[in-house]
Amino acid sequence: MDIHPDIERVIVSQQVIQARINELAAQISADYAENGQLVVVGILKGAFIFLSDLTRRLTVPHRVDFMALSSYGQTATTSGAVRIIMDLRVNVEARHVLVVEDIVDTGYTLHYLLNVLRTRNPASLRSCVLLSKPDRRKVDIPIDYVGFEIPDVWVVGYGLDYAETHRTLPYIGMLKPEVYK
């Protein structure tokens, strides 16, 4: 496979991503087998590809909805620095909610989001993230399903971007430092 010239090395290959999503989808389908009304909430933009692959492999009934969040400035420094720029269309009260994110870095975004959704009285609230950077965590948050733990390097592809580029690469790649310096 050709690697994009901006990519230093592949962190998680297309094949490994797809195999892990099969496992996650099977696990989630088993865990929700007895529950009705699952709402899968994708967080734009980064989660759109992961969400698409994951939900098409779920064997339990589910709805898909989206939220978009934004941090003030380049990085969130407090949980209050995150805001909702597009909200859900469905009412999640008394429904089982699974939040799907591409990556958890500091944790501020997911921390904020879970707090907001909890106030809407879902029947249950869980999170599924493709990538986690444990070394970067600033706030301790529960993550129920994790695809991969990765080191603290700048990654793009499979939904993740650098300045809105490289989101549609089929693998997770480490960006060459000269691209962002």
Is there a contact between 172 and 20 (Cβ–Cβ < 8 Å)? Answer: no
Q: Is 105 a catalytic residue?
A: yes
d(CA 73, CA 98): 27
Which residue number is nearest to ligand PRP in terms of Cβ?
A: 46
d(CA 70, CA 45): 10
Binding status of residue 173 toward ligand PRP by CB under 6 A: no
Catalytic residue chosen out of the listed positions 102, 105, 140, 161: 105
Binding status of residue 109 toward ligand PRP by CB under 6 A: yes
Per-residue contact string for residues 47-86; x = within reach of ligand PRP by CB under 6 A: ----------------------x-x----x----------
What are the phi and psi torsion angles at 35 (to 5°)?
-100, 145
Binding ligand PRP (rule: CB under 6 A), the pick from 7, 99, 103, 169 is 103
Is there a contact between 88 and 100 (Cβ–Cβ < 8 Å)? Answer: no
The token duo for 19 is 């195999």
Q: Which residues are catalytic?
A: 105
Name the residues that contact ligand PRP, by CB under 6 A: 43-46, 69, 71, 76, 101-109, 161
